[in-house]
Amino acid sequence: MPEMQLPPVLFHAAALILGLCLGSFYNVCVHRYLTGQSVVSPGSHCPACGHVLSWWENIPVLSYVLLGARCRSCRGRIHWRYPAVELLSGLLSLLFALKFGPTLQWAVYMVFLGIFLVASFIDLDSFILPDILTWPAAALALTTPLYLPAEWLDTALGSLCGAGVFLLLQQAYLRLRGLDALGTGDIKLMLSLGALTGLSRLPLMILLAAVSALLVAVVYMRRPDAQGMRTAVPFGPFLCLGAVLTLLWGDALLNWILYL
């Protein structure tokens, strides 16, 4: 597929705007999965009072600021998740645009970024990684050598080894400690993440995910409902973060780690 002939600055700006707009849709997906509502209907509205949002109340991030983080109708607080998802989506779209340019690679990764963002924020709220996201992501990721510069063997082994290692960890912890410390959703998620990073970069991805999860676990353990070392921490978002960091800066990070 030939590359689009678009000035880099315009493409990067377009990627940022597209990412912000997609983030607004991802918010709908997250909220309506958590509440059991249809993604299609009804239209955008306040979850508290049902107020139908006008166009200017639907502008990513900006509307949140203009409205003072409150619904114009009932003055209910707008969840922080809405601008967070939009900003993350826009930032990731821009970073991948800077890395890969206006190519098929960028477009393919945008699909995965959307899936992983929605899955991550659902996991943060409910400790669930939905099958409706993890299985399609795995199937799509295993076909990436068709349209990305990846090797079939590296892709397949990355998927199988990633999921396999997590399955072994889950079962070992269950038998030794009697605790289901690692969710099955994480294992399914690893099918796609391992395929995207490949076997060669799988250890780096897991390391980055583990370090980031460990840092955030300290925050979880300080909450009033914390249970010490048994405090539950959703791992899916950190696995996705590790994969994103690996895809963006994997080689540079490997070199940095090796020369430490």
Tens digits of residue pLDDT in 197-245: 999 999 999 999 999 998 888 777 766 666 655 667 789 999 999 999 9
Within this chain, do residues 91 and 122 fall inside the same structural domain, yes or no? no
What range defines the domain where residue 163 resides?
104-260
With beta carbons less than 8 A apart as the criterion, state whether 96 and 5 touch. no
φ, ψ of residue 52 to 5 degrees: the values are -75, 125
* Beta-bridge partners for 52: 45
Same domain? 67 vs 1: yes
Of the three residues 102, 131, 147, the one that is the final residue of a domain is 102
Residues 74 and 114 in one domain: no
Domain limit, last residue, from 102, 119, 150: 102
Give the residue from 102, 137, 165 where a domain finishes: 102
3-state secondary structure of 51: coil
3-state secondary structure of 52: strand
- Asked whether the bond before 42 is cis by omega within 30 degrees of 0, the reply is yes
Give per-residue pLDDT as tens, 46-104.
888 888 888 888 999 999 999 999 998 899 899 999 999 999 999 999 999 999 999 99
Domain count, the chain: 2
The verdict on 124 and 229 lying in the same domain is yes
Measure Cα distances from 125 to 151, 157, 180, 237 in Å.
36, 31, 19, 11
